Amino acid sequence: MLVKNWIWPLLAASQGAQAALEYTNLCSPSPLPLESIKKAAAIVAKDLLDTYYNGDKPGFVPGILPGPPPDGDYYWWQGGALWGTLLDYWHYTGDTQFNPIVKRAMMFQVGENADYNPRNWSASMGNDDQSFWAFSAMLATELGFEDPPKDKPQWAALVQAVYNEQTAPERRVTTPGHNCEWGLRWQVFPANNGFDYINTIANGCYFNIAARLARYFGNMTYAENAERTWNLITRLKYVDDQYNVYDGAHEGDQCTKINKFQFSYNAVILLQGSAYMWNMTQKPEWEQRINGLLDNIIKVFFPDKVAFEVACEHATCTTDMESFKGYLHRWLASTTQLAPFTRDKIMPVLKSSTAAAVKLCTGGANGRMCGFKWSTGVFDETGAMQQQNVIAALTSLLVGSAKGPLTNSTGGTSVGNPNAGVDTPLTIEQRFGKIGGGDRAGAAILTILIVGAASVMFWYMGTD
């Protein structure tokens, strides 16, 4: 049955009067209006960059959104996540208009050791922060995005640098017999608030990166460390027997007092990594894990088939948490390519969730900025993350007509470097020289200030 086109309000706000088109309902079995989806995604993406990104303007830093607080709402890692969203946008739509911005941003934020660990962000650098930039470089690798000049670090090598740095013992719990042994710490440097927090997102990011490198290069060493990380996370009961995925625990508590907050990005990062492992190995245990994670993700994070951030949305979500719906859509979509047996479960919720998301694109000065609480049906507030989420939701619906991720034997051109990052200094003393007592206290104070509201919230979750 034909119903009013769900994208029409967004297109009409952008393009003015035109003949009202009727398309089939998103949730019907009829073909999706692909060209309208692409047009809508382009509008949302352009509004995001025009409104929130200043990196290509004189006097501003390429690659980052305004921040961190108090200079703006956004943290360094959220810039990395944005470029991954726009890489998916390019891949699914074929629209190259934003590619030069993406490439410049991703190259500008490369660290001094040809990694994603630039010294400007040391005071708030988390292993998860670093990983979100690595995800975008990995996506560039897998999608065949334009390679950097040959005298610059290559996309695959940048990912390997992050992987190698995070494999190093300086990033991990190394006490023999400790319950958290080999757990990857949340923060990179000991002076950073949260260094003793061994959480799912840091370890889940590492698991995801290792699985993707394993598939891309056909290298079982990466796969072995991915498996080892899965075993660590499940041994610590961060994933329970019902596939609920919890946030983490502290080294001082032997990782036994688990913060049982559930965030969608923790769960879906494990799901996508498991899909890469199944795609590479075809092992039945990975299929079982995929099905368990997926069933619980739909149950917990898609009540009424609309994405809902259960840990915070009943109250207030931080700007970090406001971005999670986008990763949820993006990584569920890619899971359907890597593990096709998931498609029939995933696509219906992506369709219904996207339909709800677009209905909230009615705010802001231009009348088409997008909101956050999709399940309410009422526009609430706009921001870069809200726009990013809707780009991700719209483009996730195009996954069926897109090619899956490449490997270096199926058309991938990015050149790796297995030794990338191995000489990176891993402590503040190594990076900046010996720090005196007064300097250390100052660094600690600076860390607390820069980490800001989102990190403080996680810290109190860990000590509550």
Tens digits of per-residue pLDDT, 273-304? 999 999 999 999 999 999 999 999 999 999 99
For the chain, the straight-line distance linking the first and the last C-alpha, in angstroms and rounded, comes to 52
Return the pLDDT at 10.
Answer: 57
- Work out the mean pLDDT of the chain and round it to a whole number: 88
Return the pLDDT at 299.
Answer: 98
Closest alpha carbon to 213 in 164, 268, 145: 164
Among 36-50, 53-67, 435-449, the minimum mean pLDDT is found in 435-449
Q: Tell me how many degrees the CA angle 225-226-232 measures, rounded to the nearest 5.
A: 85
Mean pLDDT calculated for residue range 190-211: 97
SS3 141: helix
What is the C-alpha separation between 180 and 44, in angstroms, rounded? 43
What is the C-alpha separation between 402 and 419, in angstroms, rounded? 33
Tens digits of per-residue pLDDT, 125-141? 999 999 999 999 999 99
pLDDT band at 175 (very low <50, low <70, confident <90, very high): very high
Q: What is the CA radius of gyration of the chain?
A: 21
What is the C-alpha separation between 464 and 147, in angstroms, rounded? 46
Return the pLDDT at 300.
Answer: 98
306 Cβ neighbours under 8 A, 6+ residues apart: 352, 353, 356, 357, 374, 375
pLDDT(16) > 70: no
Beta bridge partner(s), residue 187:
126
Among 41-45, 180-184, 423-427, the minimum mean pLDDT is found in 423-427
Return the pLDDT at 32.
Answer: 67
What is the C-alpha separation between 88 and 62, in angstroms, rounded? 20
How far lies 246's CA from each of 77, 237, 272, 306, 393, in Å?
21, 8, 17, 21, 24
Beta bridge partner(s), residue 369:
363
Q: Tell me how many degrees the CA angle 24-30-35 measures, rounded to the nearest 5.
A: 65
What is the C-alpha separation between 40 and 336, in angstroms, rounded? 23
Sign of CA dihedral 454, 459, 461, 462: positive
Among 31-40, 65-74, 196-205, 214-223, the minimum mean pLDDT is found in 31-40
What is the C-alpha separation between 373 and 221, in angstroms, rounded? 42
Domain boundaries of the chain, sorted by first residue: 34-338+391-463
SS3 23: strand
pLDDT(30) > 80: no
What is 34-338+391-463's CATH number, 3.40.309.10, 3.40.50.620, 1.50.10.20, 1.10.1660.10? 1.50.10.20
Tens digits of per-residue pLDDT, 312-338? 999 999 999 999 999 999 999 999 999
pLDDT(162) > 90: yes
